[in-house]
Amino acid sequence: MIDNQPKKIKAYIAGVNLNDPNFDYYMTELANLTEANSMEVVGQSYQNAESIVAGTYFGLGKINEIKAMAHGLKAKVLVLNDELTPVQIRNLEKLTKMRVIDRTELILEIFASRARTKQAKLQVQLARLQYELPRLHPSENNLDQQRGGGYSNRGAGESKLELNRRTIGKQISAIKKELKAVASQEEIKSARRNQSRIPKVALVGYTNAGKSTTMNGLLKEFSDEGSNKEVFVKNMLFATLDTSVRRIDLKDNFSFILSDTVGFISKLPHNLVESFKATLQETKEADLLINVVDASDPNMVQMIRTTQNVLDEIGVKGIPMITAYNKADKTDRNYPQIEGNDILYSAIDPKSIKMLADLITKRVFSNYEEFRLLLPLSAGKELAYLHENAQVLSEDYEDDGVHIQANIAPDDQGRYKQYLV
């Protein structure tokens, strides 16, 4: 049988450990990111040091050791655990005779291959250009090449460098302008959703923790056309970069808006966080956050910390949160079970999904109050608003009007005081 699958490029990963207790976790993450970028990790090295070597990242002895091991394993690419300076990358490429990718470029490449919508593509392009701008080098012949050697003809190189910088500067300005236009369209959609009193719930968390699977589980359980609304799911890092928004209609007349956001990872490049702030707007406007965590991963504590760090960076503060420990089916613990305000569950288990929905209901509808109302038959607009924005428990049409029992949000309670029975 002929294997038509393209051969993966062999990569060797390496990093400098500055006495960081999380270093092993970061290296595991780097290996997963490298695999997510369609490369095969064939080996790894690290160097314990007090500080990074300014010109070469590693010391010369370690560079020679890495070169020998990587070449022996037929690796073509050296992937490094930190963001490097342009000088460090160029010097390492000369010394190792390999292509060198730092952690930031690796994540940018993954994002570029995953972007589907216009907004996501623009956001990735912007982050990549901002990354490339300080890395331009006089010896480069065109904007598509990041690497180059030789320092002859300095004068011509310098003028070419300025031209390239101006070109990238114009591209950055044009993309920012285009992104602003796309963002304003998204803001209009978001404003429409905000006009409704329906609570907003946002799924956040480390990439590949099961956010999209959780959303699909809720859609399958509580929507007649769930399969038509399901979002893309794949067992890989950053399977999707786009925020998906769905309405979940629970069986007891409660509804909420659920958004599934881009996943997080340690050392997420600042330019990417900045570029994706518009995409993460749903998170900032949520009434409740659900931090989905992979309960089967030994690094889950660091993953929770990573999520909190990114939320802090994008300015998400003071929003109530449920920590949802997913993939309990891959552990030996009993599930589903509520643990205080949190839940241990499996997103592919219907019983778990129902328990999660119950927990969401308790958290977002806790300040709703039950009212008995009598609406005139002519108050069709008020009745429609009630159905859209409250939990209608019963509704009876009598000669004197419509008798309604409903749970109403605090902001709407004053609106219906005149109809109290």
Two domains, one topology: 9-101 and 197-365 = yes
Q: Is 241 annotated as a binding residue?
A: yes
- 91 labeled binding residue: no
Query: Any binding-site annotation on 239?
Result: yes
Mean pLDDT of 305-317: 88
Question: How high is the pLDDT of residue 279?
Answer: 64
Name the CATH topology of 9-101: Rossmann fold (3.40.50)
Q: Is 242 annotated as a binding residue?
A: yes
Query: At residue 148, what are phi and psi to the nearest 5 degrees?
Result: -175, 160
pLDDT band at residue 142 using 50, 70 and 90 as cut-offs: very low
Q: Check the annotation: does 208 bind a ligand.
A: yes
Question: Domain residue spans in the chain?
Answer: 9-101, 197-365, 369-417
326 annotated as a binding-site residue: yes
Per-range mean pLDDT, top range of 110-119, 164-173, 325-334 = 325-334
Rounded Cα distance between 284 and 222, Å, is 25
Tell me: is residue 211 an annotated ligand-binding position. Answer: yes
238 labelled as ligand-binding?
yes
Question: CA separation (Å) from 367 to 289, 370, 411?
Answer: 17, 10, 10
pLDDT digits (tens, 9 = 90+) for 319-375: 999 999 999 999 999 999 998 889 999 999 999 999 999 999 889 888 888 899 999
Q: 197-365, what's its fold? A: Rossmann fold (3.40.50)
Determine contact, residues 133/169, Cβ cutoff 8 Å.
Answer: yes
CB atoms within 10 A of CB 259: 23
Of residues 251 and 385, the one with the higher pLDDT is 385
Spell out a b/e string for 279-297, using b for 16 or more CB atoms within 10 Å of the CB, else e. Answer: bbbbbebbbbbbbbbbbbb
CA atoms 135, 104, 36, 93: torsion sign: positive
Average model confidence (pLDDT) for the chain? Answer: 85
The reply, when asked if residue 68 is annotated as ligand binding, is no
- To the question of whether residue 207 is assigned a binding role by annotation, the answer is yes
Cα 344 to chain centroid, rounded: 21
Distance CA 146, CA 199 (A): 47
Q: Give residue 225's pLDDT.
A: 57
Instruction: Work out the pLDDT band at 235, boundaries 50, 70, 90.
Output: low
pLDDT tens-digit series, residues 80-90: 999 999 999 99
Tens of pLDDT, residues 195-223: 566 889 999 998 889 999 999 999 999 87
Per-residue pLDDT tens digits for 22-56: 899 999 999 999 998 999 999 999 999 999 999 99
* Confidence (pLDDT) at 315: 86
Res 67: pLDDT: 97
Is residue 275 pLDDT above 60, yes or no?
yes
- Assign 136 a pLDDT band (cuts: 50, 70, 90): confident
CB 256 within 8 A of CB 198: yes
On the question of pLDDT at 91 being above 90, the answer is: yes
Is 261 marked within a binding site? Answer: yes
With a cut of 60, say whether residue 170 has pLDDT above it: yes
DSSP 366-415: TT-EEEEEEE-TT-HHHHHHHHHHSEEEEEEEETTEEEEEEEE-HHHHGG
The pLDDT-based confidence of 154 (bands split at 50, 70, 90) is very low
Annotated binding residue 219: no
Rounded CA gap, 270 and 67, in Å?
30
What is 1-33 written as a DSSP string? Answer: ----SPPPEEEEEEEEESS-TTHHHHHHHHHHH
Closest by Cα among 290, 320, 316 to 304: 290
C-beta of residue 211 within 8 angstroms of C-beta of residue 204: yes
pLDDT of residue 150: 37
Give the burial class of 19: count Cβ atoms within 10 A of its Cβ; 0-12 exposed, 13-18 middle, 19 or more buried.
exposed
Please determine, for residue 278, whether its predicted confidence score (pLDDT) is greater than 60.
yes
Give the pLDDT confidence score for residue 102 in this predicted structure.
Answer: 95
In which band, very low, low, confident or very high, does the pLDDT at 144 lie, cut at 50, 70 and 90? Answer: very low
Q: Please tell me whether 234 is known to bind a ligand.
A: no
Q: What is the mean pLDDT of residues 93-100?
A: 96
Q: Return the SS3 of 70.
A: helix
Cβ atoms within 10 Å, residue 248: 21
> How many Å apart are CA 368 and CA 408, to the nearest integer?
5
Give Cβ neighbours of residue 32 (< 8 Å, ≥ 6 apart): 237
Helix/strand/coil percent split, the chain, to 5: 45, 20, 35
Question: 377 Cβ partners below 8 Å, 6+ apart?
Answer: 397, 401, 402
